[in-house]
Amino acid sequence: MVNFTLVNGQVYTPGLAIIDAPQPNTPLGGDNLQIAIDVSGNGKLPWPPSTDNDSATQFHDIRFFLTSESLSHNFTISNGTTPSTNTSYVGPVLDLEPSSTVKHVNWIWPKCLVGDGSGSKSNSDRGAYNISMHQSFRWNGTDYYTVFQLPISVTNSISESDERVDCALLENELLSVAEVDESSDSLPGQPWIEGVTSVNWNNEAILRSHWSRTLLDLSSQLGPENIFISIYESGSYDNTKGALRDLDWELERLRVPRNITLSHITHEDEMAAPARGEGWVRTTAGGARKLRRVPYLARPSDVFELLNTNDGEYGAACSLDFSKPPNFYDTFALRDIRGHEAVMSTWPYFRTVESRYAMKSLSPVPVASCWNGMVAMPAGPFLATSPLRFRGIPDSLAEYHLEGSECCLIHADNPLSEEKGVYLNPRVRVGYTGQAYAAVKPISNWLTAKRILQGLWVNRVRRWSIAFWVKEEVVRRRVDSWKALDPKNDEPGQLCIIDEMQILHRNSL
Q: Are residues 288 and 310 in the same domain?
A: no
Answer whether residue 423 is part of any domain. yes
Sign, CA dihedral 329-333-336-341, equals: positive
Summarised one tens digit per residue, pLDDT across range 404-447 is: 999 999 999 999 999 999 999 999 998 887 788 888 887 667 78
* Residues 6+ away with beta carbon under 8 Å from 382: 188, 189, 388, 389
Q: Are residues 24 and 92 in the same domain?
A: yes
| Nearest alpha carbon to residue 34 among 85, 114, 90 | 90
Residues 229 and 274 in one domain: yes
Structural domain including 41 reads: 5-183
Query: What percentage of the chain's residues is helix, strand, coil (to nearest 5)?
Result: 30, 25, 45
Same domain, 352 and 424: yes
CA dihedral 185, 187, 192, 196 (to 10 degrees): 140
Do 389 and 502 lie in one domain? The reply is yes
Pairing of strands 26-28, 142-154: parallel
Pair (289, 307) in one structural domain? no
Side-chain half-sphere of 87: how many Cα atoms within 13 Å?
13
pTM for this prediction: 0.60
| 264 and 314 assigned to the same domain | no
- 3-state per-residue secondary structure call for 24-46: CCEEECCCEEEEEEECCCCCCCC
In a domain, 44, yes or no: yes
117 within a domain of the structure (yes/no): yes
Domain count, the chain: 3
Which of 145, 161, 183 delimits the end of a domain?
A: 183
Residues 499 and 469 in one domain: yes
CA neighbor of 39 nearest in space, from 62, 8, 66: 62
- Is residue 202 located within the same domain as residue 74? no
Q: In this structure, are 356 and 280 located in the same domain?
A: no
Which residue type sits at 387?
P
Helix (H, G, I), strand (E, B) or coil at 224: helix
Could you list the beta-strand ranges (E) of 333-414: 335-336, 365-369, 375-376, 403-404
DSSP 196-208: EEEEESS-HHHII
Are 497 and 403 in contact by the 8 Å Cβ rule? The answer is yes
User: Is the distance from CB of 38 to CB of 10 less than 8 angstroms?
Assistant: yes
Which of 436-457 are b and which e, b meaning 16 or more Cβ less than 10 Å from the residue's Cβ?
Answer: bbebbeeeeebbeeeeeeebee
- Report pLDDT for 434: 77
Angle at 447 between CA 441 and CA 449, to 5 degrees: 155
Query: What is the pLDDT at residue 330?
Result: 86
In a domain, 261, yes or no: yes
Asked if the structure places residue 298 within a domain, the reply is no
Cα→Cα distances 344→341, 353, 463, Å: 9, 14, 9
List per-residue pLDDT tens for the chain, 509 residues long.
445 566 667 888 889 999 999 988 889 999 999 999 999 888 888 777 666 677 888 999 999 999 999 999 999 999 988 887 666 889 999 999 988 899 999 999 999 999 987 655 556 799 999 999 999 999 888 899 999 999 999 999 999 999 999 999 999 999 888 888 788 887 766 777 655 656 656 778 888 887 888 889 888 887 887 788 888 887 787 888 899 999 999 998 888 888 888 877 765 665 566 655 554 444 444 455 444 333 445 577 888 889 899 999 999 999 999 989 999 988 889 999 999 999 999 999 999 999 999 999 999 999 999 998 889 998 888 877 788 888 999 999 999 999 999 999 999 999 999 999 999 999 999 888 778 888 888 766 778 889 899 999 999 999 988 788 899 999 999 999 999 999 999 999 999 999 987 765 555 44
pLDDT at 280: 46
Instruction: Report in angstroms the alpha-carbon separations of 194 from 5, 109, 261, 353, 406.
Output: 12, 37, 16, 36, 21
Q: With H, G, I as helix, E, B as strand and everything else as coil, classify residue 295.
A: coil
Among 273, 293, 313, residue at a domain's last position: 293
| pLDDT tens figures, 469-504 | 899 999 999 999 999 999 999 999 999 999 987 765
Please check whether residues 357 and 437 belong to one and the same domain: yes
Residue 188 lies in a domain: no
337 occurs within a structural domain: yes
Give a yes or no: residue 189 inside a domain.
no
Which residues have CB under 8 Å from 406's CB, separation 6+?
Answer: 294, 390, 391, 392
* 374 plus 500 within the same structural domain: yes
Single residue among 159, 183, 207 that ends a domain in this structure: 183
Give tens-digit pLDDT for 195-242. 565 665 677 888 888 788 888 988 888 788 778 888 888 778 788 889
